[in-house]
Amino acid sequence: MHYLVYVSSARHLMDEEELLAILETSRSSNTNDYITGMLLYKDGSFMQVLEGEESTIERTYARIAKDRRHEGLILLRKGKTEKRYFPGWSMGFRSVNAEDLKNIPGFQNIKDGRFTDPAIVDNPHIAMTALKAFND
Ligand SMILES: Cc1cc2nc3c(=O)[nH]c(=O)nc-3n(C[C@H](O)[C@H](O)[C@H](O)COP(=O)(O)O)c2cc1C
- What's the CA gap between 12 and 14, in Å, rounded? 6
Across 63-82, average pLDDT: 97
User: How far is the centre of ligand 1, averaged over its atoms, from the C-alpha of 11 (Å)?
Assistant: 15
Q: Per residue in 29-66, pLDDT tens?
A: 999 999 999 999 999 999 999 999 999 999 999 999 99
Pocket test for ligand 1, best of 9, 26, 116 (most atoms within 8 A of CB): 26
Give the total number of structural domains in the chain. 1
Instruction: Kindly state if the Cβ of 135 falls inside 6 Å of ligand 1.
Output: no
Query: What is the whole-number distance in angstroms between the Cα of residue 31 and the centre of ligand 1?
Result: 13
Residue 113 is predicted with a pLDDT of: 84
CATH of the domain at 126: 3.30.70.100
Residue nearest to atom 17 of ligand 1 (CA): 64
Cα distances (angstroms) measured from residue 119 to each of 32, 114, 131: 35, 10, 16
| C-alpha 121: how far from chain center | 13
Report the pLDDT value the prediction gives residue 61, as an integer from 0 to 100. Answer: 98
Least confident of 33-37, 70-74, 98-102, 120-124: 98-102
45 lines ligand 1 (CB under 6 A): no
Domain hosting 117: range is 2-133
